[in-house]
Structure 1
């Protein structure tokens, strides 16, 4: 067997399941299979290896489900792909072959069942990896920060439950003024290059990684800049996104026969981790730009989000939106929630009128990191926080955000019942960085680190 050409990537992981993405390579006139074998760390016996047939339709990739795992347990696994000599082999028959697995051993940990156990997460967005003629230019620069993240995760207490990447994991339009990629095969090359660099590959093979798209998975400021001729670009970009980002997420259901269903109803999804719950929104592909009903989230998604906010018993609720919920930017803010004030106000009023506590919005996009607090002039019980983490690696062509980038001297929204007012609760980080977020019984601690892992600042958000 051969090493995966992309992956393994650990996706959605629960107390008893884990989804793992692997990619092989096309072989002319012969079938290709990928497989994973695993065991509890410290034991000798490998458990029965699940296999999948790798199809060109999914760029020779598959998501393999490990089921009936034990909670809060360390596992080790091996992954590989091969082409059998006989063309008659099936997924079931290859499981009986005496295969020689690749030597690399990867590790994963299932989620803990203890509800109140402290949890930790890595937050990041906007990883620029420039390609020239399909080849990464200075790829070590775009991969450097993932080594620092991996070093922090190793031995971290509490263990890091997951990595949340909130958009622009690739830049389809990295040379958008000169030669933007539009064809399907060109976009696939972007994903293969971006996800197979050594540090990010090592990181994602050992820590569950959740992703949601932003505009650069398609083109800058989508869909404002879209033209009728962009229909094929959108179709190509989203097909590639579904293969490499959505396929291992909770957006894909598990079928009754233990397979991950790759037919997607939508890109937004939910998941839980103890008494913490996440709602990851698709704030990019379901926008309505009509002036009479402007929406950054479609009606179905807004209703689902509001229902979750009201009904979820979670102690802490994280809402991921790839673009800024607040504060608004002075310039270029129309690509974010600033341009959809009515829908934003509806969400805030749901949180305020239902007296919901510990709601935190997480985003990226702006190439600057910060935390901020939103209050209401007439309602002392209302409080919402936002945590922004961006970028993992910036382009030299793009500026970093700073405090003067944002509108901070006026209320976010004015209503008959009072004003929504916000303030920064951190400095604005204007360099490549990531966030290490820890949640315990009384607080959220957000530690920002630079690309070498050095801590830049630490912010405490008290829970109520």
Structure 2
């Protein structure tokens, strides 16, 4: 086959446009059979042979020597047959847009997305997929709800979309995923309708990324990713007690190995720059293989996944991206690198904490810290988490410890506030950056997070008198992309977010001698509970963020229109505007869309 010959079945998944900088771009694909994959962008082209993992075939094609600040369409060929863009596709040609120094930087971010149908039934149970609504609007398939709103301008294509966890749900599977599981094993046996092995993870990723609109979006907007708990299982590494219970089951070892192995292939591999990939212990072996025969690295990657689960200090999932002097993005693994020893408990083990300490520096306009779990929760939630950790650590004796452990596993109390040593350390590091003690103070230190199924912006400042900071400290959360809370859970979250919940929670945590936070913070916007995707634009010291959602008009569930939910901005000098109180907005934000 050659040229535009029959392309059916050659491409299983992708292309996904991954790491892109000023002069290079990486394109990831999964193919049906062993093959040579070629990416052509204008006069630039590159090819790569596939490598196999448990019978699945993948290629990562790296284009180099591109011109900065250029946008050009590209094609993907498998063994000479053009497979992307698809014949008669209603979507625009996919493009690779390289970065350019000094140009305003645009990012999108969000987390928590389930993969169900986009018809009336799917939208009634899971809401409109905000990512798909965004894709349809970007592709010119629909008009935004407010065509005059510049934030909804489809020409504002971001330089990167950052997925902050739970891109796939290995434990809460959909009907389509359950049907696939049932076709290959007895779902009355462990692990029931949860994922068991690599084959099931491969199918789950195919369900997550194969919708035509989302597939087009991922082929034309560069992406970076990090896992959260549902990529493996709810409350992954909450505590030593949780981990001990999981490791005592007959199925956990298979789950964690398959989850980490597939994460490396489908998500992490594309996070790295070409030079970082060349030094990666697994990918270096892929590159070292010569010849036309394809090797299956399944056993090798399984052994790797087993090792890094048991010895997380032997591999780093966290990474950084520098966007000249505009921004540094530090993406933190807040799941696999946890230290769970009750006497020395930490969100990050010593090696990971030391690495993060090195990355938290100024000398950029904006320091962005991507952590799937919000660093700053609502005050009531934060204090409840600190209280539950202290209880579980024995502040009120053995009976209180059992109650605290049960509480944190039942109510998912395992964010930064539930790892107080790590929270205190990161808070002090943040203050140092914002005060200019780690290089020139940036305009903002902004935490980007997901996980909690509601969205908000918080502003923070040091508690200690005289601790002046030059940076605005922000926590921005976007969750979920598609997996909304029930109405009852929305009200429960709101109760812990407003009014006396903060002071009451503080009294509870003080009763267990939890130290006071070195930061104080409050909501600047939110919370709101829509399915949404957040956008962020940086231009010198200024910062602007807005959240968008999909709305069904005239019963057309397949073609939702993009609408803005909320926005937040710093002015040209990096100063936040005066804020109205948010309590009066609560009833509107609780109302399901």
Using structure 1 for the length normalisation, give the TM-score.
0.83
Q: Deviation digits for residues 168-227 of structure 1, max 9, x if unmatched?
A: 000011149962112221122111211112122111100001100000010000123332
1:108 is aligned to 96
RMSD value over aligned CA atoms? 3.2
1:39 is aligned to 41
Greater helix share, structure number: 2
1:268 is aligned to 318
Q: CA deviation at 1:443?
A: 2.2
Asked whether 1:348 is paired with 2:432, we answer no
CA distance in structure 2 between the partners assigned to 1:48 and 1:381 by the alignment: 48
CA distance in structure 2 between the partners assigned to 1:341 and 1:240 by the alignment: 31
Asked whether 1:171 is paired with 2:169, we answer yes
Q: CA deviation at 1:362?
A: 0.8
Please give the secondary structure, in 1, of the residue aligned with 2:423.
helix
1:61 is aligned to 58
Please give the secondary structure, in 2, of the residue aligned with 1:233.
helix
Distance 1:416 1:163, change over 3 A: closer
Asked whether 1:124 is paired with 2:213, we answer no
Asked whether 1:162 is paired with 2:212, we answer no
Greater strand share, structure number: 1
Q: Any conservation in 2 of the 1:153–1:160 contact (CA below 8 Å)?
A: no
Q: Any conservation in 1 of the 2:458–2:474 contact (CA below 8 Å)?
A: yes
How many aligned positions are there?
Answer: 429
Pick aligned residue for 1:403 from 494, 498, 501: 494
Asked whether 1:324 is paired with 2:338, we answer no
Please give the secondary structure, in 2, of the residue aligned with 1:70.
coil
Q: Any conservation in 1 of the 2:369–2:448 contact (CA below 8 Å)?
A: yes
2:130 is aligned to 145
What is the 5 A alignment of 1:370-389?
370-377=456-463, 378=465, 379-381=467-469, 383-389=472-478
Q: Structure 1 stretches of 5 or more lacking a match?
A: 27-31, 41-45, 83-98, 132-136
Q: CA deviation at 1:162?
A: 0.5
Q: CA deviation at 1:138?
A: 4.6
CA distance in structure 2 between the partners assigned to 1:178 and 1:415 by the alignment: 40
Asked whether 1:248 is paired with 2:250, we answer no
Q: CA deviation at 1:416?
A: 8.8
1:70 is aligned to 67
Q: CA deviation at 1:102?
A: 3.0
Asked whether 1:7 is paired with 2:14, we answer yes
CA distance in structure 1 between the partners assigned to 2:538 and 2:19 by the alignment: 19
What is the 5 A alignment of 1:8-23?
8-23=15-30
Q: Deviation digits for residues 133-160 of structure 1, max 9, x if unmatched?
A: xxxx959968842232225556656541
Please give the secondary structure, in 2, of the residue aligned with 1:163.
strand
CA distance in structure 2 between the partners assigned to 1:221 and 1:251 by the alignment: 30
Q: Structure 2 stretches of 5 or more lacking a match?
A: 2-6, 86-92, 140-152, 174-189, 287-300, 305-314, 386-410, 437-441, 552-561, 576-593
Please give the secondary structure, in 1, of the residue aligned with 2:526.
coil
Please give the secondary structure, in 1, of the residue aligned with 2:316.
coil
2:196 is aligned to 182
Q: CA deviation at 1:360?
A: 0.8
Using structure 2 for the length normalisation, give the TM-score.
0.66
CA distance in structure 1 between the partners assigned to 2:205 and 2:223 by the alignment: 15
1:284 is aligned to 335
Q: CA deviation at 1:324?
A: 1.5
Please give the secondary structure, in 1, of the residue aligned with 2:528.
coil
Q: Any conservation in 2 of the 1:372–1:424 contact (CA below 8 Å)?
A: yes
Q: Deviation digits for residues 26-78 of structure 1, max 9, x if unmatched?
A: 4xxxxx214133234xxxxx434413234244721121111111111112211
Asked whether 1:232 is paired with 2:318, we answer no
1:86 is aligned to none
Q: Which of 1 and 2 has greater Rg?
A: 2
Q: CA deviation at 1:381?
A: 2.0
Which sits farther off after the overlay, 446-455 or 236-245? Answer: 446-455
Q: Any conservation in 2 of the 1:333–1:339 contact (CA below 8 Å)?
A: no
Q: Any conservation in 2 of the 1:327–1:408 contact (CA below 8 Å)?
A: no
Please give the secondary structure, in 1, of the residue aligned with 2:200.
helix
Q: CA deviation at 1:305?
A: 1.4
CA distance in structure 1 between the partners assigned to 2:448 and 2:83 by the alignment: 38
Which sits farther off after the overlay, 211-220 or 414-423? Answer: 414-423
Distance 1:351 1:138, change over 3 A: closer
2:534 is aligned to 435
Which sits farther off after the overlay, 176-185 or 339-348? Answer: 176-185
Asked whether 1:448 is paired with 2:547, we answer yes
1:87 is aligned to none
Q: Any conservation in 2 of the 1:144–1:199 contact (CA below 8 Å)?
A: no
